Amino acid sequence: MTPDCSITVRSAAEAVAYAPYVIGFHPTDSIVVLCLARRIVVVGMRYDLPPPAEALDDVAEMIALQRAPEVIVLGYGPPPAVTPAVHALLAALEPTGVRVTEALRITEGRWWSYTCADPSCCPPDGTPCRSDLAAEAVYRGLVALPDRKALVARVAPAEGAVRREMAEATVKAQARFTDLTAADVEAGRGGRLVRKAGRQAIREAERVARAGRMPSCKEVAWLGVLMVESVVLDYALERSGPEEWRMRLWNEVLRLVDPVYAPGPACVLGFAAWQSGDGALARVALDRALRENPGNRIAGALDRILSAGIGPTALVALHPPGTEPSSARNQAEQARAKDKKRGRPAAGAGRRIRRGTRRQSL
């Protein structure tokens, strides 16, 4: 079944039910913001509780930049944590002109409204969250993982027998790479042999993944070693796209490669996920890249794109008519320039659901 990811919110109950499917997991101790146009969710954002007081203006600005006709704010957690955070965010949003139509608290399976005092529709004891609406979302093909930890686990290194098999394959791939670079130097090819091998490995992995399979451990190890070379990583980034088979491929490569080789596949997965609108997956993929190599420039640049709340269509619009961004490096530089022009620090992370809804998650 092809999921219909256009989410329409007509009531507070629907906002509560559908919010986890907008951001991709069931939030806890969080503020979630849904931006709507004609009742359709076009942007979803999530922030940890409590948000730093100094960051609230940046958060409010990011919400205002979405130019959504209406906004719903949802706080997840106990009242002492949620209530002051929601009120502080509403105060920060007031001068921006953003129209907040609902502000809600969700605690232990019930929700309360900060904007409605009518006990006939918003009783003092709260309203039970509707499981039938959640079931409808699942039927439509929408997915909400149990929590953010489950999302992080998707990009965690594989363990057990496959890890041992990958360790052996990596040793062989490293020796093969040493021989290849030596042959390249001896022939005076200026890195062309490595570039050719990298392109072949990427295209073969894509061919296999497109057919519904995954590369072998030997192929993954070889790919991971080759992607240390920037020319190979750039080629993978240039070919990345929002197709689900591409994200499955790079998610699997990221899980399998030796952790020292994780940043390259993590960047490609993050870039592909960002292009598809899966900003929560993009965030955890880039976090993995930066955890393995805090100085990775591509991961850092893509991190800035997410933190600035910039969607893929915004960056494409920065290019002159008739041109296309050649790689993630180009797009990252565009984002850095745009962020600098705004004169403010980064404050969030972006995500766009298929069919026009963008998700953001820190």
pLDDT in tens, 117-173: 898 888 999 999 988 888 888 877 778 899 999 999 999 999 999 999 999 999 999
What length is written for the chain?
362
Q: How far apart are CA 50 and CA 23, in angstroms?
A: 18
- Bridge partners of residue 154, in order along the sequence: none
- Specify the pLDDT at position 5: 57
**357 vs 97, more confident:** 97
Predicted confidence at residue 4, as pLDDT, reads: 45
- How large is the average pLDDT for residues 1-11? 65
The two tokens of residue 161 are 């027998």
pLDDT digits (tens, 9 = 90+) for 285-329: 999 999 999 999 999 999 988 877 776 766 554 443 344 444 455
For residues 244-268, average pLDDT: 97
Residue 356 has pLDDT above 70, yes or no: no
Average pLDDT, integer, range 68-73: 93
Per-residue confidence at 332, pLDDT binned at 50, 70, 90? low
The most confident of 27-41, 47-61, 257-271, by mean pLDDT: 257-271
Q: What is the pLDDT of residues 192-206, one digit of tens each?
A: 999 999 999 999 999
Looking at 77-191, list the stretches that DSSP marks H as alpha helix, in order from N- to C-terminal side.
79-93, 131-139, 148-154, 161-186
Mean pLDDT for all residues in the chain = 85
Please indicate whether residue 325 or residue 53 has the higher confidence score (pLDDT).
53
Contacts of residue 103, defined as CB under 8 A and 6 or more positions apart, other chains included, come to 72, 73, 74, 75, 86, 90, 113, 114, 115
- The more confidently predicted of residues 222 and 51 is 222
The amino acid at 70? E
